[in-house]
């Protein structure tokens, strides 16, 4: 493997991924449109200014580096121009996609059927077009990532603020640390052009999550008015096989155990120092 990794579009996930990546790569770089403002937690030599809409920033990427693409691959023409300019065919490339790529179809089956990586995708979506361009023409490994949660991104807060409500809609989630481990496993072991669902493999209805949160943490929720909530249930078998190749596995298989840790750590951080 090259001695460096460059993370394109460094946000929430990158903050947790960088320390993991530094155990494998000699150099880890992160990009932002405003690196001094947004990447202050990194050493100055790790920060790279990059903006897909500004071709003058494309050449700032290291010549020999693996690439982890963390932002929506749009617009299509710019994605293609950058991919050619950066010689992405010659690089190890992992793209973080979305589970919204899958065509919801018109199924009325409930619970919804399990979705594997061979399921139909919605190519009318610009983001999906970009991901497929990178996968089929540039050998990208695409990770279709479920809802990301972890410290500072807590589903309990989503419920408390009314961002989500009680409904029968299924949701798939992945802890940010498990996502980071999957990214590294894909960079090392996945075949070019492969697709992986990234989820903890335990899809749950929001009603179940809300009821458990209310019981454990006394946080209430309102009832959703969605007429026909359904959602998806993602199979993560292929991802788990990939992690096993890297001698790893999911750390956070159970959402509620993970939330206990997040809540406990949040409480400890809020406690005044003595």
Residue 159: burial class (beta carbons within 10 Å; 0-12, 13-18, 19+): buried
What angle, 0 to 180 degrees and rounded to 10, lies between the N-to-C axes of helices 206-217 and 255-270? 40
75, pLDDT greater than 90: yes
Q: What is the DSSP letter of 91?
A: S
- Domain 72-148+173-199+234-250 class? alpha beta
pLDDT-derived band at 1, boundaries 50, 70, 90: low
Where along the chain do its domains lie? Answer: 72-148+173-199+234-250
pLDDT at 9: 96
Q: Are 262 and 213 in contact (CB under 8 A)?
A: no
Q: What is the mean pLDDT of residues 153-167?
A: 96
| pTM for the full predicted model | 0.95
Residues contacting residue 103 through CB under 8 Å, at least 6 positions apart: 119, 120, 121, 122
Return the exposure string of 34-67: e unless at least 16 CB atoms fall within 10 Å of the residue's CB, then b.
Answer: ebeebbeebeeebbbebebeeeebeeebeeebbb
Q: What is the DSSP letter of 52?
A: T
Residues contacting residue 141 through CB under 8 Å, at least 6 positions apart: 93, 94, 95, 135, 186, 187, 190, 191, 192, 193, 194, 195, 196
**Using CA atoms, how far apart are residues 251 and 260, in angstroms rounded to an integer?**
14
**Using CA atoms, how far apart are residues 201 and 178, in angstroms rounded to an integer?**
12
Window from 72-86, 96-110, 144-158, 193-207 with minimum mean pLDDT: 96-110
119, pLDDT greater than 90: yes
**Using CA atoms, how far apart are residues 90 and 77, in angstroms rounded to an integer?**
20
pLDDT at 105: 59
Q: What is the mean pLDDT of residues 101-108?
A: 76
Residues contacting residue 169 through CB under 8 Å, at least 6 positions apart: 205, 206, 224, 226, 229, 230, 231
Q: Closest Cα to residue 144, out of 163, 109, 118?
A: 118
Match 């949660």 to its residue by tokens. Answer: 149
186, pLDDT greater than 80: yes
pLDDT in tens, 16-59: 999 999 999 999 999 999 999 999 999 999 999 999 999 999 99
pLDDT at 249: 97
């Amino acid at each position: 493997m090259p001695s460096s990794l460059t993370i394109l579009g460094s946000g929430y996930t990158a903050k947790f991924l960088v320390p993991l990546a530094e155990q494998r790569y000699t150099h880890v770089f992160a990009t932002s449109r405003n690196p001094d403002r947004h990447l202050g937690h990194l050493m100055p030599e790790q920060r790279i200014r990059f903006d897909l809409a500004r071709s003058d920033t494309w050449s700032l990427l290291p010549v020999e580096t693996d690439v982890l693409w963390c932002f929506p691959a749009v617009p299509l023409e710019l994605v293609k121009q950058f991919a050619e300019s950066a010689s992405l065919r010659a690089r190890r490339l992992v793209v973080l996609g979305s589970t919204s790529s899958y065509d919801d179809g018109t199924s009325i089956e409930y619970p919804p059927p399990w979705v594997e990586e061979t399921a139909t995708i919605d190519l009318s979506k610009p983001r999906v077009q970009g991901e497929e361009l990178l996968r089929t023409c540039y050998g990208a490994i695409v990770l279709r990532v479920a809802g990301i949660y972890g410290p500072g991104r807590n589903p309990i807060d989503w419920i408390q603020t009314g961002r989500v409500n009680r409904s029968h809609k299924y949701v798939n989630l992945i802890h940010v640390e498990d996502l980071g481990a999957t990214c590294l496993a894909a960079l090392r072991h996945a075949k070019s052009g492969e697709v992986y669902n990234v989820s903890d493999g335990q899809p749950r209805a929001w009603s179940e999550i809300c009821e458990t949160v209310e019981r454990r943490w006394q946080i209430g929720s309102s009832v959703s008015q969605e007429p026909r909530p359904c959602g998806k249930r993602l199979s993560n078998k292929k991802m788990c096989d990939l992690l096993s190749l890297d001698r790893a596995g999911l750390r956070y298989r159970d959402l509620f155990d993970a939330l206990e840790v997040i809540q406990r750590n949040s409480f400890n951080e809020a406690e005044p120092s003595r």
